[in-house]
């Protein structure tokens, strides 16, 4: 057994928690910090100086040499530039480590190389990072030493958001303000804010390092671009929740320890559906912290894998033919006096506040289904959504039997007089207890499912930041709350007005409810009949960001300006084009430098064999047949490679933007698929000894 650790002791050891601030800061400064955290506003420079010193002292005591403003540019990953605490030595050559309040609250990385979608010309590249005081600073223990990381938002000189964090924080303020209006209507005078909480379930694959390093596609693209299926896939359903193998178990133990030290409350772990696939879910927390923590989780997963001579694949579809990875984004709204707005209670039909909240969410999701879909799109997720393993690309809501029935009653009669109860689940074994059943079963195929006291948005990709989905959720629901509050605050008879509004919203937006099988072909047709959008790919989703409806929403709640939205569109098109470009170049490289030469050698040895066997006077028809088959596929491969090169040249020669992204999607990707097909067939024909790469079986079953 390796060393035992005490979880309570190590939890948040590397975080400058509010508790540590309380201990280390003078009372008045601590109170000022707490006030800004809870109510917003700005920290005085004097207070910031004191906080900075305390933070630095704590960090240095724990071995830190540098600090960094840790931020989340539009690349989807995090960025950091380290500065040491070292200052100019005094006359006697002695140096004191320092860190000022100014350095804590504001940074100016030379950030001209981050994608900004035209918001900043390179000659005026100023970008600022500003401390997000609500997300605690933490220590990262890396090969570079211990680094104090200060979570920040990243904005341009003129205040435009250049990151994923700023709009998220803006959306959290918007939903809080509007949701408080709603709870006030129901007599809650105590709540001062409403917090969006998020719990993201993170799926991932682990593969062996040595095998990974033999696959340029995994190295450059994070997914296999070639690969015939293994004889066994996931059809036996023996991996999901299966016994965790020793090597993976050791990894999970290490991962948990690292995450706990960083204050991430890693909670569940299990094997997922595909071979070599696993999942970790933390306990939910405030949206911006959950977003930061999810970035930490992804980074830590990769770092710990290296330590175990493995590599962690976060790509949405590392392997064709088996499940890919997603990130279920569990989301709810709670007041600061402890009320979960999404908790229906035992009798939802009598819980008017809940029904209004539900009606507003139905309205929000139906009105802005396109935006939600967009928020979950990234290049890798195009392989999953609608591919019968993940939710379809169509947004719909699952409410479960109990709520669906309540909505139905309200829509049909205006009154919900009854509600279905869960009842008792009888186990039929006298020594086992009978359970109180939940009133609702689960539906795994729905992209947006009500799960008891939260919604689970299941479309999000495993490699993607969860900032955008939560920004959109907050924004669209804030709008619906605002419109409802505008009506209800003016109503003479509140009871009547709220009743009418719930009925109106539910009736108008009931088309978004779907409780059936989201993977079925019938649903695609049914959704079309209902007029629900079915946006099939990332590039097709991009322009949902700048429809009149979207611009109006985002500007009204100060979440994005039109210029920010347009810049994001540009970044998305560029990201798409660049990603497919890398994949195409990698395929061209692999096919021309390794696959074709290997097959050519193999055909030579087959040809030699045919001649030798014939000379020896035996029947060489099997060898000759094999040679003919392999040669035919080789010719197909060579032709497909030429076509891919042509498509790639065409796309590459175009200017960046929408048109180029579409050529990558429609022509380059199609040519990539056409090249993959004969190569995967060749892999099945050619001697394994000759094949230049570890196979799917090697990668997925021998970790």
Residues that bind Mg ion (CB under 5 A): 201
Of the two residues 260 and 284, which places its CB atom closer to ligand ADP in the complex? 284
* By the rule CB under 6 A, 165 interacts with ligand ADP: no
**DSSP helix/strand/coil, 484:** helix
* By the rule CB under 6 A, 201 interacts with ligand ADP: yes
Q: How far is the CB of 527 from ligand ADP (least distance, A)?
A: 24
Question: Could you tell me what percentage of the chain is helix, strand and coil, using 3-state DSSP and rounding each to the nearest 5?
Answer: 50, 15, 35
Of the two residues 188 and 603, which places its CB atom closer to ligand ADP in the complex? 188
Which positions from 340 through 359 interact with ligand ADP, judged by CB under 6 A? 340
* By the rule CB under 6 A, 268 interacts with ligand ADP: yes
145-156 and 424-425 beta bridge pairing: unpaired
Of the two residues 156 and 330, which places its CB atom closer to ligand ADP in the complex? 330
What, of ligand ADP, Mg ion, none, does residue 632 touch, CB below 5 to 8 Å by kind?
none
Q: Which two tokens stand for residue 306?
A: 């290296």
**DSSP helix/strand/coil, 441:** coil
Q: Any idea what DSSP says for residue 325?
A: -
Of the two residues 453 and 594, which places its CB atom closer to ligand ADP in the complex? 453
Of the two residues 252 and 339, which places its CB atom closer to Mg ion in the complex? 252
Applying CB under 6 A, the span of 29-37, 276-284, 467-475, 638-646 interacting with ligand ADP comes to: 276-284
Of the two residues 23 and 337, which places its CB atom closer to ligand ADP in the complex? 337
Of the two residues 109 and 461, which places its CB atom closer to ligand ADP in the complex? 461
Q: Which member of 107, 109, 136, 282 binds ligand ADP (CB under 6 A)?
A: 282
Q: How far is the CB of 91 from ligand ADP (least distance, A)?
A: 56
Residue 93 Rama label (left phi>0; alpha psi -120 to 50; beta): left
Residues 254, 308 contacting (CB under 8 angstroms): yes
Q: How far is the CB of 333 from ligand ADP (least distance, A)?
A: 8
What, of ligand ADP, Mg ion, none, does residue 373 touch, CB below 5 to 8 Å by kind?
none
Q: How far is the CB of 340 from ligand ADP (least distance, A)?
A: 6
* By the rule CB under 6 A, 293 interacts with ligand ADP: no
Of the two residues 129 and 135, which places its CB atom closer to ligand ADP in the complex? 135
* By the rule CB under 6 A, 453 interacts with ligand ADP: yes
Of the two residues 340 and 507, which places its CB atom closer to ligand ADP in the complex? 340
Length of the chain: 703
* By the rule CB under 6 A, 447 interacts with ligand ADP: no
Of the two residues 454 and 633, which places its CB atom closer to ligand ADP in the complex? 454
Q: What are the beta bridge partners of residue 197?
A: 286, 332
Of the two residues 268 and 434, which places its CB atom closer to ligand ADP in the complex? 268
Residues 323, 274 contacting (CB under 8 angstroms): yes
CB within 8 Å of 522: residues ≥ 6 apart: 516
Q: How far is the CB of 326 from ligand ADP (least distance, A)?
A: 11
Of the two residues 340 and 652, which places its CB atom closer to ligand ADP in the complex? 340
Annotate 538-581 with DSSP letters as a single string: HHHHHGGGGSHHHHHHHHHTTS--HHHHHHHHHHHHHHHHHHHH
* By the rule CB under 6 A, 199 interacts with ligand ADP: yes
The CA distance from 668 to 648, in Å, is 6
The CA distance from 181 to 172, in Å, is 14
CB within 8 Å of 131: residues ≥ 6 apart: 69, 104, 105, 106, 150, 151, 152
In 590-650, at which residue ranges do the beta strands (DSSP E only) sit? none
* By the rule CB under 6 A, 281 interacts with ligand ADP: yes
Q: Which member of 454, 458, 568, 633 binds ligand ADP (CB under 6 A)?
A: 454
Chain centroid offset of residue 170 CA? 19
Nearest residue to 179 (alpha-carbon basis) of 399, 347, 356: 356
Applying CB under 6 A, the span of 32-40, 281-289, 389-397, 498-506 interacting with ligand ADP comes to: 281-289
Tell me the backbone φ, ψ of residue 547, rounded to 5 degrees.
-65, 160
Q: How far is the CB of 455 from ligand ADP (least distance, A)?
A: 8
SS3 for 239-298 is: CCCCCCCHHHHHHHHHHHHHHHHCCCCEEEEEECCCCCEEEEEECCEEHHHHHHHHHHHH
Residue with tokens 């509004």: 501
Q: How far is the CB of 139 from ligand ADP (least distance, A)?
A: 24
Q: How far is the CB of 606 from ligand ADP (least distance, A)?
A: 50
Q: How far is the CB of 325 from Mg ion (least distance, A)?
A: 12
What, of Mg ion, ligand ADP, none, does residue 174 touch, CB below 5 to 8 Å by kind?
none
Applying CB under 6 A, the span of 85-93, 107-115, 145-153, 198-206 interacting with ligand ADP comes to: 198-206
Residue with tokens 């904005």: 155
Q: Any idea what DSSP says for residue 229?
A: P
Q: Which member of 288, 295, 332, 637 binds ligand ADP (CB under 6 A)?
A: 332
What, of Mg ion, ligand ADP, none, does residue 199 touch, CB below 5 to 8 Å by kind?
ligand ADP
Q: What are the beta bridge partners of residue 208?
A: 310
In 387-438, at which residue ranges do the beta strands (DSSP E only) sit? 397-398, 424-425, 435-436
Q: Which two tokens stand for residue 548?
A: 């009149």
Determine the residue with CB nearest ligand ADP: 199
Nearest residue to 687 (alpha-carbon basis) of 597, 598, 614, 589: 598
Q: How far is the CB of 203 from ligand ADP (least distance, A)?
A: 10
Query: What is the binding site for ligand ADP (CB under 6 A)?
Result: 197-199, 201, 268, 281-284, 330-332, 340, 453-454
């Amino acid at each position: 057994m390796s060393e035992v650790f005490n979880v309570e002791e190590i939890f948040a050891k590397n975080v400058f928690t509010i508790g540590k601030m309380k201990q280390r800061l003078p009372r008045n400064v601590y109170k000022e910090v707490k006030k800004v955290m809870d109510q917003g506003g700005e920290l005085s420079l004097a207070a910031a100086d004191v906080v900075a010193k305390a933070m630095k002292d704590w960090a240095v005591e724990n071995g830190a040499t540098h600090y960094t403003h840790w931020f989340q540019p539009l690349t989807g990953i995090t960025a950091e530039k380290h500065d040491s605490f070292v200052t100019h030595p005094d006359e006697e050559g002695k140096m004191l480590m320092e860190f000022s309040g100014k350095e804590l609250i504001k940074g100016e990385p030379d950030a001209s190389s981050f994608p900004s979608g035209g918001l900043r010309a390179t000659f005026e590249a100023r970008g600022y990072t500003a401390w997000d005081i609500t997300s605690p600073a933490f220590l990262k223990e890396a090969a570079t030493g211990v680094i104090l990381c200060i979570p920040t938002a990243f904005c341009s000189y003129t205040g435009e958001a250049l990151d994923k964090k700023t709009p998220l924080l803006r959306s959290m303020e918007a939903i809080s303000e509007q949701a408080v209006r709603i709870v006030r209507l129901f007599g809650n005078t105590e709540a001062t804010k409403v917090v969006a909480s998020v719990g993201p379930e993170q799926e991932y694959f682990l593969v062996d390092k040595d095998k990974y390093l033999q696959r340029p596609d995994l190295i450059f693209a994070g997914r296999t671009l070639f690969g015939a299926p293994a004889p066994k896939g996931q059809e036996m359903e023996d991996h999901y929740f299966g016994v965790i193998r020793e090597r993976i178990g050791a990894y999970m133990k290490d991962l948990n320890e690292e995450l706990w030290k960083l204050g991430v409350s890693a909670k569940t772990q299990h094997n997922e559906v595909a071979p070599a696939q696993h999942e970790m879910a933390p306990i939910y927390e405030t949206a911006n912290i959950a977003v930061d923590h999810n970035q930490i989780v992804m980074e830590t997963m990769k770092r710990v894998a290296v330590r175990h001579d493995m590599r962690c694949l976060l790509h949405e579809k590392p392997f064709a033919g088996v499940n890919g990875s997603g990130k279920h984004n569990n989301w709810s709204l709670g007041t600061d006096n402890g009320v979960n707005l999404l908790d229906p209670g035992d009798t939802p039909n009598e819980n008017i506040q809940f029904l209004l909240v539900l009606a507003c969410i139905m309205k929000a999701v139906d009105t802005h289904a396109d935006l939600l879909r967009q928020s979950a799109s990234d290049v890798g997720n195009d392989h999953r959504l609608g591919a019968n393993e993940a939710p379809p690309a169509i947004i719909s809501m699952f409410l479960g039997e109990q709520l669906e029935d309540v909505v139905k009653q309200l829509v049909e009669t205006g009154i919900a007089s009854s509600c279905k109860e869960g009842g008792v689940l009888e186990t039929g074994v006298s020594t086992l207890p009978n359970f109180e059943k939940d009133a609702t079963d689960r539906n795994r195929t729905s992209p947006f499912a009500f799960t008891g006291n939260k919604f689970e948005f299941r479309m999000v990709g495993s490699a993607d930041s969860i900032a955008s989905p939560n920004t959109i959720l907050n924004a669209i629901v804030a709008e619906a709350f605002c419109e409802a509050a505008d009506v209800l605050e003016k109503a003479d008879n509140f009871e009547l007005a709220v009743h009418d509004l719930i009925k109106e919203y539910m009736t108008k937006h009931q088309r978004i409810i779907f409780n059936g099988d989201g993977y079925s072909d019938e649903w695609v047709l049914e959704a079309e009949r209902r007029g629900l959008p079915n946006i099939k790919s990332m590039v097709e989703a991009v322009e949902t960001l700048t429809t009149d409806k979207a611009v109006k929403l985002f500007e009204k709640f100060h979440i994005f300006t039109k210029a920010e939205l347009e810049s994001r569109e540009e970044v998305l098109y560029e990201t798409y084009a660049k990603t497919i470009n890398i994949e195409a170049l990698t395929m061209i490289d692999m096919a021309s430098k390794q696959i074709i030469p290997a097959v050519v050698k193999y055909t030579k040895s087959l040809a030699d064999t045919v001649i030798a066997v014939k000379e020896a006077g035996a029947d060489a028809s099997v060898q000759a047949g094999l040679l003919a088959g392999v040669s035919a596929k080789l010719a197909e491969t060579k032709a497909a490679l030429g076509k891919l090169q042509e498509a790639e040249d065409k796309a590459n020669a175009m200017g960046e933007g929408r048109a180029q992204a579409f050529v990558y999607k429609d022509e380059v990707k199609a040519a990539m698929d056409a090249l993959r097909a004969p190569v995967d067939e060749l892999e099945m024909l050619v001697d394994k000894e000759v094949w230049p790469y570890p196979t799917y079986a090697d990668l997925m079953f021998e970790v």
